[in-house]
Amino acid sequence: MSDEAKGLTHIGASGEAHMVDVSAKDDTVRVAVAEGSVRMKPETLAIIRDGNAKKGDVIGTARIAGIMAAKQTSNLIPLCHPLMLSKVTVDIVEDADLPGLRVEATVKLTGKTGVEMEALTAVSVTALAIVDMIKGVDRAVVIEDVRIVAKSGGRSGDWVRPGEADPGDPR
């Protein structure tokens, strides 16, 4: 096994993939916040803002898609544990400077493993749903900067992305 693989939790001694055993971990409150953005033409942003998208309510539909996606993460990402999430929020705000929409997802549970993948999945699928709803009027739309912003709980404790504005206590 390579030196790089030795630090990976999902790789066994001979290099095979496996799901990490979390049974000995304590249940703690765990929260993750992820964000991303969807850049588009200013005219497309106006269509969304004015509620004139042919497929319907872009923001409402995308928010539901993101929440549903967070709950399905273990079905989408190999080796993720199925989790009983206690909270998923997806916020979508207009940003004229992009121009486009900024997406932030917060995921919470009390359990043995973190929810970073669920937060990232929520942001990613929210962005994909936005693209699907507007691709007929803007084929150049771009999803960018999907990333974890903060996490709390677990053995490793709290973390906030360096150089980012503190999102506050994600709990």
Both tokens assigned to 62: 């995308």
Higher pLDDT, 7 or 167: 7
What's the whole-number mean pLDDT along residues 54-72? 97
Inside any domain, residue 7: no
In whole angstroms, what is the distance from residue 163 CA to residue 44 CA?
Answer: 31
pLDDT at 165: 57
CATH number of the domain enclosing 100: 3.30.70.640
- Residue-number span of the structural domain to which 36 is assigned: 22-160
Nearest residue to 70 (alpha-carbon basis) of 33, 100, 101, 19: 33
pLDDT confidence bin for 2, thresholds 50/70/90: very low
d(CA 123, CA 21): 27
Residue numbers annotated as active site: 132
Asked whether residue 112 is assigned to any structural domain, the reply reads yes
Q: Is residue 77 part of a domain?
A: yes
Q: Is residue 3 part of a domain?
A: no
Q: Are 134 and 53 in contact (CB under 8 A)?
A: yes
* 3-class SS of residue 91: strand
Residue 102 lies in a domain: yes
Domains in the chain, number:
1
User: Cα–Cα distance between 114 and 81 in angstroms, integer?
Assistant: 10
- 6 within some domain: no
What pLDDT digit, counting tens, does each position of 108-158 carry?
999 999 999 999 999 999 999 999 999 999 999 999 999 999 999 998 899
Residue 13 pLDDT grade (very low, low, confident, very high; cuts 50, 70, 90): confident
Q: What is the pLDDT of residue 127?
A: 98
pLDDT value for 15? 75
> Is residue 9, in this structure, part of any structural domain at all?
no
Residue 1 falls within a domain, yes or no?
no
Per-residue pLDDT at 16: 78
Residues 101-109 have a mean pLDDT of 98
